[in-house]
Amino acid sequence: MFEYIVSKFNYWAYICLMMIGLYAMIVKGNLVKKLIGMNIFQVSIILFYVSVGAKSGGATVPILTAEDIHHAHAHVLANPLQYMNPLPHVLMLTAIVVGIATTGVALAIIIMIYNRYKTLEEDEILVIRKESGV
């Protein structure tokens, strides 16, 4: 049982990082801190997907070398145990780029909020909005 829990340590790290990011998004008052929490949250999900695709025991990405092509027993190449799943990797490439795009849009909105309210703290922004009657 202990071996089973320790062998899945990537998933425990993924849960820890995800909860750290969620805590930062909910509790922290500064808007940049909230955005840092969102980044940590995204990266933890990417870690989860890459961990799903990883395989121990010398498995690699599916690449044919020149020696493999001229190999007499070409059927050993069809052994799927030697290859790990590349599908989560490809999905996560898209996720990284989408994550950086959302971060850029969020930072632009933060700069506009700062230009209007001259502060980045959530509670001060709420007080200013209540005083101005918006």
Partner 1 sequence: MILPLDIILIVFTVICAIAAIQIKDLLSAVIILGAFSFFMCLLYAQMGAVDVAFTEACVGAGVGTVFFIAAVNKTKRRAKD
Which window, 48-56, 67-75, 126-134, contacts partner 1 (CB under 8 A)? 48-56
Contact flag: residue 20 with partner 1 (CB under 8 A)? yes
Distance (Å, rounded) from C-alpha 63 to C-alpha 2?
36
Contact flag: residue 125 with partner 1 (CB under 8 A)? no
Which amino acid, residue 34?
Answer: K
Q: How far is the CB of 23 from partner 1 (least distance, A)?
A: 7
Contact flag: residue 79 with partner 1 (CB under 8 A)? no
Q: How far is the CB of 110 from partner 1 (least distance, A)?
A: 6
Question: Taken in order 79, 81, 86, 88, is the CA torsion positive or negative?
Answer: positive
Contact flag: residue 60 with partner 1 (CB under 8 A)? yes
Helix (H) or strand (E) holding 23: helix 9-27
Contact flag: residue 63 with partner 1 (CB under 8 A)? no
**What are the CA-CA distances from residue 43 to residues 30, 37, 51, 132 (Å)?**
20, 10, 12, 39
Q: Please, is 76 exposed, middle or buried when counting C-beta atoms within 10 Å of its C-beta (0-12, 13-18, 19+)?
A: exposed
**What are the CA-CA distances from residue 42 to residues 7, 9, 31, 76, 133 (Å)?**
23, 19, 17, 38, 36
Bridge partners (DSSP) listed for residue 30: 121
If binding means CB under 8 A, how many residues of this protein chain bind partner 1?
Answer: 49
Contact flag: residue 45 with partner 1 (CB under 8 A)? no
Contact flag: residue 127 with partner 1 (CB under 8 A)? no
Q: Applying CB under 8 A, which residues contact partner 1?
A: 9-10, 13, 16-17, 20-21, 23-24, 28-30, 32-33, 35-37, 39-40, 43, 46-47, 50-51, 53-56, 59-61, 84, 89-90, 92-93, 96-97, 99-100, 103-104, 107, 110-111, 114, 119-121
